[in-house]
Structure 1
Amino acid sequence: MQTTILYIGRDAEITVVMERLLNARPEWKGICVCTDEEAVALCEKQNLDLVLLGNGINAECEKVLRAKLTALQPGLKIIQHYGGGSGLLYGEIMSTLN
């Protein structure tokens, strides 16, 4: 079974890279968006295992986003990811899911 991971970031170029990295692993299904509205709409339609909050999301947006997403999917794991290599990304994801 695939683990569905949503990445939310404000930089479109980084979002493209994240989508490639997340989907490089067959056990992960990565979905990447740049707006909170896209994230909430996706969360309404699809079951998610993990949300990664990326660059450019300020503290107030993060607070609102966390509240909206967990209201839609209680128990949803949400962590911050601000960069680093693919090894760091893998470690963050695996430690959060385990």
Structure 2
Amino acid sequence: MQTTILYIGRDTEITIVMNRLLNARPEWKGICVCTDEEALAICSVEEIDLVLLGNGITPDEEEKIKSNLLNIRPGVKIIPHYGGGSGLLYGEIMTALS
């Protein structure tokens, strides 16, 4: 069974890279968006296992996103991811899912 990971970031180019990295692993299904509205719409129809909050999200936006996502998917894990290599990404995800 695949783990579905939603990445929310503000930088389109980084979001494209994250999409490639998340979907390179057969055990992961990565969905990557740049807006909160897209993220909320996806969470309304997809079973999301983990949310990664990326670069460009202000602290106020982060709190609002977390609150809105948890209203839709109570208990979903939400963690920050602000960069680093694919090894760091893998470690963050595996730690969050364990």
Q: What TM-score comes out, normalization by structure 1 length?
A: 0.99
The alignment of Structure 1 onto Structure 2 pairs a total of residues equal to 98
Structure 1 residue ranges (4+ consecutive) displaced by more than 6 angstroms after TM superposition: none
Residue identity opposite 1:64 in structure 2: K
1:34 matched to which residue of 2? 34
Kindly, what percent of the aligned residue pairs are identical?
A: 70
Equivalent-residue separation in structure 2 for 1:70 and 1:30 (angstroms): 19
Match status 1:20 vs 2:16: no
- For structure 1, the 5+ residue unaligned runs are none
2:90 matched to which residue of 1? 90
Q: What TM-score comes out, normalization by structure 2 length?
A: 0.99
Equivalent-residue separation in structure 2 for 1:95 and 1:78 (angstroms): 12
Residue identity opposite 2:92 in structure 1: E
Q: Deviations along 1:9-43, whole A, 9 cap, x unmatched? A: 00000000000000000000000000000000000
1:4-83 correspondence runs (5 A) = 4-83=4-83
